[in-house]
Amino acid sequence: MMKLADDPQVAAFRAEFAAFLDDRLPTEAQARTRSRSSADVPDWARDWQRTLFDHGWLLPGQPPEYGGRNATLPQQLAHLEELARRRIYHSFNPQGLGIIAASLLTFGSQEQKSRWAVPILRAEITAALGMSEPEAGSDLASLRTRAVLKGDVFVVNGQKIWTSGAHDADVLLAFVRTDPDAPRHHGISALLVPTDSEGVVRRPFGSIAAEDDLDFNEVFLTDVRVPRANLVGPLGEGWRVANGSLGHERTLLWLAYAERLEDLIRDASDVGAGQEWYATLRLDLQALRLLGYRQLGPDRDPAEVSVLKLLGSEAVQSAALHALEAHGPEALPHPALTGPHCHMNNEAFVSSWFERYARSFAGTIAGGTSEIQRNIIAERILGLPR
């Protein structure tokens, strides 16, 4: 796997983390219980995440009190590369770790960091993200879920959809409209909604991958009372929190796409050798890594993250489709295993070829759709008019 040439500090950092993994990694027998959704974290995985937190290896870029060791960006990349090399899933509550806890560390009060962020980081509770609604998908500014402040309590009414893992989550970071008269991108606020609150109903439903793939949810909120203390950031500043939340998700997201591309290179070699699409797959991986490494430099442009997100997600989807078509009818049975099993990874990444292709659409939608990324690239990099 191609990587940046390590300076001595990064090399020492990588070696220390590798030694930690050699010594502490759970065995296959310990990891027998598997996760059923993106907020269902088995006991062994909770213990493992707490171990990472306690030793500063969960989010190395954070200070020790938040599961890190104040690592530099190149050191953080080395950490993620080592996880990817060993096929270790960073967290079985990925939105809780990568978006919600990260957002609380950026925008939350000290009390919220202690009450919510640290327990999420330590896998003592799990979290889900409530953004999309039936009439507000990529266009978050169109959301209709209302929260009316009455004294020290918000009363919330509305509906969320595509809320991954909500039925297994302990708390929902929900974006709500608190000022219906404000312009579209104003008057939105972010609230932490405990999912056991009266009036919260969660209904999981199957996905295109399988009827029993229960991760997506409809979430109905009827007169749900949420303490004002659960407001994340200033009242009406939810748009800024939302952009920060997606920014946390996107920053090193390209590395996950690189891992998926490497998986596809390995697992589709039986049908790809000598094919143009397979050569393109290899070139896409090389381009993604080179562009990703450029983001580590001092002159990086935040808008270029959209280039990485677009290239990575679209390359994975294109390659998965070619592999599906090349394998023919044998690509359809479900469940199936199309790559090596690793007990520390998410089985969805090596499931049937149909499922791998179907799941690739999540990459072109979550974290900002490909259409949104193209708009950002056009306006902020190419300078085209809106």
Which residues are catalytically annotated?
249
Distances in Å between the Cα of 326 and the Cα atoms of 130, 213, 260, 278, 356 are: 38, 25, 18, 11, 14
Among 195, 197, 188, 118, CA closest to 163: 195
Q: Which two tokens stand for residue 276?
A: 């143009």
- Residue 117, exposed/middle/buried by CB under 10 A (0-12, 13-18, 19+)? buried
CB 126 within 8 A of CB 101: no
Q: Name the phi and psi angles at 38, rounded to 5.
A: -80, 5
Report the distance separating Cα 56 and Cα 64, nearest Å. Answer: 6
Q: Is residue 146 within 8 Å of 191, Cβ to Cβ?
A: no
Quick one: tokens of 163? Answer: 């809320």
Question: φ and ψ at 19, to 5 degrees?
Answer: -65, -40
What is the DSSP secondary structure assignment for residue 223, as one 8-state letter?
Answer: E
Residue 359 DSSP code: H
Contacts of 133 (CB under 8 A, 6+ apart): 142, 143, 144, 145, 158, 159, 160, 161
Handedness of CA 59, 239, 292, 37 (dihedral sign): positive
> What are 233's two structure tokens?
């950031």
